[in-house]
Structure 1
């Protein structure tokens, strides 16, 4: 499905809908070129989960962790852009971080991808003449949640 995101308000509303449906164990895989809006959407999801204040980009740290009560559910925000080999996710201990948490993954293809997981919501962000658009592919667990978009 395609979701048009003509402005920041539309992106924030989309992030709120994702956050409302997000569960522990889920992955929101955010793909797209540099400047496509991955971090903006991730920040919107984190804010919609209850986090107040600044949300740093995990570009250099690779992983940022958010725990209740600051957010509704435990959350890992990862930016895999700097990974040179998908095997590096083991070196950084991604599985340990993910235990009992949802994952917001920017540049998921650098980590080997997550689309094979039933709880993966894949979002490809593209720039358009009228802002941005999200091409959304929902895994079976997301499809069972009904019309959340």
Structure 2
């Protein structure tokens, strides 16, 4: 496991880190986004998508559970499991179909899906640090 730490002074820095991650992650990757409400998870995801070339809106899938995108022929799924009552609910949306080895899957609140989602290739933990944020990246398979 390889760990990186980044200080994100503002929203622009969060977007920039997201864009960098988008360039570093391969299709088929699974990313866990951890952090309290308001820590910047959706902002990081917006940066990731924009870094890959997505030009449309990026919204939090809090009520829909998953928001699908496609960039350059690669499916990207942004999950928000915050409102999930039980991990078994993921079976009803066909969760296993999303992890087909082609898609980039990013999951906010991944602990709520425990036992139903694969282990991550990358875990990003965002914490509030004064006016900015700390981003802790844990790569499961070494430096990317």
TM over 0.5: yes
Structure 1 pair 51/114, CA: closer, same or farther in 2 (3 Å)?
Answer: farther
Aligned to 2:49: 46
Match of 1:111 among 110, 113, 133: 113
Aligned to 2:6: 3
Aligned to 1:18: 21
In the TM superposition, residue 116 of structure 1 has moved relative to its aligned partner by 6.6
Aligned to 2:39: 36
In the TM superposition, residue 113 of structure 1 has moved relative to its aligned partner by 7.1
Unaligned runs of 5+ in 2: none
In the TM superposition, residue 20 of structure 1 has moved relative to its aligned partner by 0.4
TM (norm. structure 1) is: 0.85
Structure 1 pair 132/113, CA: closer, same or farther in 2 (3 Å)?
Answer: farther
Cα distance between partner residues in 2 of 1:114 and 1:121: 17
Structure 1 pair 94/116, CA: closer, same or farther in 2 (3 Å)?
Answer: closer
For residue 47 of structure 1, give the secondary structure of its aligned residue in structure 2: helix
Query: Is the CA contact 2:125–2:136 (under 8 Å) kept in the aligned structure 1?
Result: yes
Greater share of strand residues, 1 or 2? 2
Structure 1 pair 60/86, CA: closer, same or farther in 2 (3 Å)?
Answer: same
In the alignment of these two chains, the number of paired residues is: 140
Structure 1 pair 45/68, CA: closer, same or farther in 2 (3 Å)?
Answer: closer
Cα distance between partner residues in 1 of 2:67 and 2:133: 26
In the TM superposition, residue 130 of structure 1 has moved relative to its aligned partner by 3.8
In the TM superposition, residue 98 of structure 1 has moved relative to its aligned partner by 2.6
Unaligned runs of 5+ in 1: none
Aligned alpha-carbon RMSD (Å): 2.0
In the TM superposition, residue 19 of structure 1 has moved relative to its aligned partner by 0.4
